[in-house]
Chain A
Amino acid sequence: MIRVEQLVKRFQAGGRDVLAVDRVSFSVAAGEVYGLLGPNGAGKTTTVRMIVGLLRPDDGYAEVDGFRTSSASDEVKSRIGLVTAEDGVYPWLTVREMLLFFADLYGVPFDVAQERLQGLSELLQIDTLLDRRCAVLSTGQKQRVTLGRALIHDPPIMLLDEPTRGLDVIGSQVVFEYIAHLRKQGKAIIVSTHQLDEAQRLCDRFGLLHQGRLEYEGTLRDLQQLTGRESLVDMFIGLLGQPVIGPLPAAG
């Protein structure tokens, strides 16, 4: 479903080039949850943005469902549901209006959107909030509305960039449970998060990013063998502690 091939992104910082993403390649199949993990500034968010087509890669490409981001951006965008930590809401619109607006942006017919809105709001427990202005929602409620927004066009692919930032334990729980539910529906999902224990339980495969490079990739067992460490937390500490070695051949 998702294929990322030798993606490169450079940024200008303080007058010199910084490699934010350095030849990253991986792929995610339908029904699979891929954990894109790494410390802050590792290049997770930049990678996600390049997959959606919000940033243009300097080299390499991303493919979704056989469509290249660079040449068929609308085809790619219509297949992706994007949730990011900075997602906002329209304070003056009601939850229902906002969700229907996004359904419209994705070209979902009105009656289908209505139906889906009903189903989604029950699942995400926002059905009582539908006619409230977004401005009065709590952080957790907003995040659930954002999830609903990303799903209103029933995309086969979900990209979740730190979907639990700012949420309490219960709020995070709802989100992760929902991700598991989405996997059952056969969606291809990329999650980037700092909640490693949750990620360890949820994701099928992992990609560990550090300084723009995909250092390790594979299932939990693969990673345990590669690094010789038990948990993701330990691997992380190892990753940050030891000097960076050359990238391993991507498993995908």
Chain B
Amino acid sequence: MNHEGLDSSRSLGAPNAAASSQETGASPVPTGAARPKRRASGRLLRLCLKELRETLRDRRTIVTLVLMPLLVYPLLSILFNRLLSSPRSNKTQFTCVIGLDVAKEDNEQFRNYMLLSEEVLRRRQAMRKSEDQQKSPASSVGGEQAGPEPTIQWWSGTNLEKPVAAGQVDVGVVVRRPNAARPGRTLQVQLLYRESSSLSQIGVDYLQRRFGAFNEQYLVERLQVVGVNTRPPIESEVRAIRDARPAVSLTTLIPLILILMTITGAVYPAIDLTAGERERGTLESLMAAPVPRLSLLTAKYVAVVTVALLTAVANLFAMTVTLVSTGLSEAVFGPNGLPPVLVAQVFALLILFAAFFSAILLAVTSFARSFKEAQAYLIPLMLLSLAPGMLSLMPGLKFDGMFSILPLVNIVLLARDLMEGQVNATLATVAVMSTAIYAVAAIAVAARIFGTDAILYGSQATWSDLLLRRPESRTAPSVSGALLLLAVLFPVYFLLANGLQRLDWLSMSIRLALSGLITAALFAGFPAVSSALQSVRLRDAFRIGPAAVAGFAAAAMFGCSLWPLAHELVLFSRTIGFNTLSPEQIQGAEKVVEALRQLSPAFVLFALAVIPAVCEELFFRGYLFAALRQRFSAAGTILITAVLFGTFHVVVTSGLSIERLLPSAFLGLMLGWVCSRTGSVLPGMLLHVVHNGLLLLIMIYRDALQRSGWGLAEQEHMPRMWLAAAAVTMLLASLLLIWGTRRRSSASSSGDR
């Protein structure tokens, strides 16, 4: 690959600082553009350090970083305790204020009743305790004992509604005599309480327990006097079993709080490092320096992520300490408390989230010309990000296909599932991948906006101008445009592929046609529109150009020889544990193949081999390759497109299958190589069509093949002879490709720029 040498040498030898050095005698200054790449990466590190230094010295950063968690978690723990302390937990002591409104003449009688009922209750408890000890010492939880016993403070007055409503009194007790004319033993008691206050309810429980016990005892005694058997018809016992899942799902609340706190850490640095540059007046000198905006933004991004992570660490630490020290961790996670592995997993998720949200923040704040403006932009973003958080608080919400690609929701739900100890590896992978793609796209947007003259000098440019306008006509789609497109394509493709699965009531041929349409629209249509918007010619955007005949021949040979290796890679993936296909899925796939056999082979080949091959090549080796090649070396571009190609194939066809990642990425590497050597997307298309077609034909005609002794079972290794033949063909194809394109690559290295 002779292309790689180009980038570093592209602007060397320019008549550089000669003019400056001739009179001053200073050493010639190598300019930024002419620096070799090695230095550039070191510089990126130093740029990051500068941004970090700047933020971390700022007192405001430190406040959100250290002070906030110190304040927030103790406060939250109080809230949690209130939420968790259902009336059945007796850990905490309450003081309950009971207001008493009683006529003077009845006062003594009521006091008496209260004392007696207390006595009855105590006797009963003592009795039950001794019974329990006889039965089994462990079962002491039960009945009235489990209720919290508040400390009672009496208060007396009239018109109790007011003090109860005001919270001055927790329970109001209004004592009246039913008939004042005929004094008797019965007192009528009305209890006033606030529905919203658990303390109030605890007070009511306290009183009713006593009244009930007293009344019961009274009846028993009276019946005994009459000589009736006092064993009641129903003997009930209430035993409280601790709820395994607390009423308010703390497992969702905790990740949500952690996420919100991480946001608070990232917001200030994000504003400060983007809009702040303009406000301080340093943006102009920054833009006057010969540095790619993407480098500047990357450095800022690293700084924001770092601060966000430091905030996350501080918060996770404070939260862990709070949970453990207040005993809440036991209430949430059971008797073993907070497992350290879980803390690590949640932290990993917070890293992902910080990476995602920092990118979004930078993309938004890059639009702002001042601190105030940035804050105004962030408020809707904050509200928007609260919504998915609230959504995830809904009990019984299942983390599935749709949610795994929804930004933010996927992370919150994944965190919840993590804490509940039930994670679906495939969905987790999709969530992580889509989040990463969104983050990269957001950085690309930020780099496109940050420091443009519209932001720098406040000239009136509309948002569409900012996003779509290109300075000069281009020969390749922009990197940021391509990344944005990718961020749109991935979730849309995932949704549509999943949706198509559900349409199993449609006939196979219609589904095939639909699938072909979707593939064409997404992988050819979207990029074509994007190229048109950027005024890039389609020929250039898709790298459609002539290629050497040898290139086509080599591509055809690769097409014939790659699939045995890809098959082996699938098996290899399964042996190292990437096995996500359930037996039902395999069965379902078998049914699909059966249905395919009923259709015309030409139609099946066209819909499943030709269309996907052509369209995917147009996108991955055409549009994406052309865009990325501007920024990355040939090898880097091949690698990135291959990984993305593999990622897309994880969600392709029958649901999700991680084992397709390796073989597809491998195929992507070979396709990328062919594309890079020949300089055209066309040979790769041929390779792809042949590859897909062969695999399809083998699947459709498997029975016939097996009958004639060419048997090949899905789960078995290939015969050695086949592998050897494939390897030899691959080798020959490689040699042919290198030989056939040697002239092109040497021509391009002198001609390129």
Contact = CB atoms under 8 A, between A and B. Distances in A.
Interface of A: 1, 11-12, 30-31, 49, 52, 54-56, 65-66, 70-71, 73-75, 77-80, 82, 84, 86-93, 97, 101-102, 104-109, 112, 116, 146, 149-150, 153-156, 185-187
B230 to A, nearest CB: 82
Contacts of A149: 285
A90 B280 contact: yes
Contacts of B288: 52, 54, 77, 80, 82
B145 interface: no
B19 A1 contact: yes
A187 B20 contact: yes
B575 interface: no
For chain B, give the interface size range: 35 or more
Interface of B: 11, 14-15, 17, 19-24, 26-27, 29-35, 39, 43, 46-47, 50, 53-55, 57-58, 280-282, 284-291, 453, 456-457, 459-460, 471-472
14 contacts: A49-B457, A54-B284, A54-B287, A55-B457, A66-B15, A70-B472, A78-B33, A97-B53, A105-B32, A106-B32, A108-B29, A149-B285, A185-B24, A186-B19
7 tightest A-B CB contacts, nearest first: A88-B281, A78-B31, A186-B23, A74-B33, A156-B20, A107-B32, A74-B290
A139 B599 CA distance: 81
B296 to A, nearest CB: 8
A11 B289 contact: no
A74 B31 contact: yes
A87 B53 contact: no
- If over half of B's interface residues share one DSSP class (helix, strand or loop), that class is named, otherwise mixed; here it is helix
Contacts of A97: 50, 53
Contacts of B456: 54
A224 to B, nearest CB: 30
A152 B424 CA distance: 55
A52 B14 CA distance: 18
B52 to A, nearest CB: 11
B14 A84 contact: no
B290 A107 contact: yes
Nearest to B11: A75
Contacts, number: 142
A112 B30 CA distance: 11
A154 B287 contact: no
Contacts of A90: 54, 280, 282
A88 B282 contact: yes
A88 B287 CA distance: 13
Contacts of B15: 65-66
B635 to A, nearest CB: 24
Given A54-B456, A65-B19, A70-B472, A93 B32 contact: no
Contacts of B460: 12
A69 B237 CA distance: 89
A76 to B, nearest CB: 8
Nearest to B34: A107
Contacts of A75: 11, 14, 31, 33, 290
Interface centre among B27, B39, B459, B472 (most CB of A within 10 A): B27
Contacts of B19: 1, 30, 65, 156, 186
Contacts of A150: 285
A112 B15 CA distance: 20
A11 B290 CA distance: 26
Given A12-B460, A88-B280, A90-B280, A153 B29 contact: yes
B32 to A, nearest CB: 4
A190 to B, nearest CB: 14
Nearest to A83: B285
Contact of B47 (A104, A109, A155): A104
Contacts of B30: 107-109
A186 B471 CA distance: 34
Contacts of B57: 92-93
B579 to A, nearest CB: 49
A149 B284 CA distance: 13
Contacts of A73: 290
Contacts of A52: 288
B32 A74 contact: yes
Contact of B285 (A71, A87, A104): A87
Contact of B453 (A1, A54, A89, A102): A54
Given A78-B33, A185-B23, A102 B285 contact: yes
A77 B290 contact: yes
A156 B24 CA distance: 10
Contacts of B23: 30-31, 185-186
Contacts of B453: 49, 54-56
A41 B30 CA distance: 36
Contact of A78 (B21, B27, B290): B290
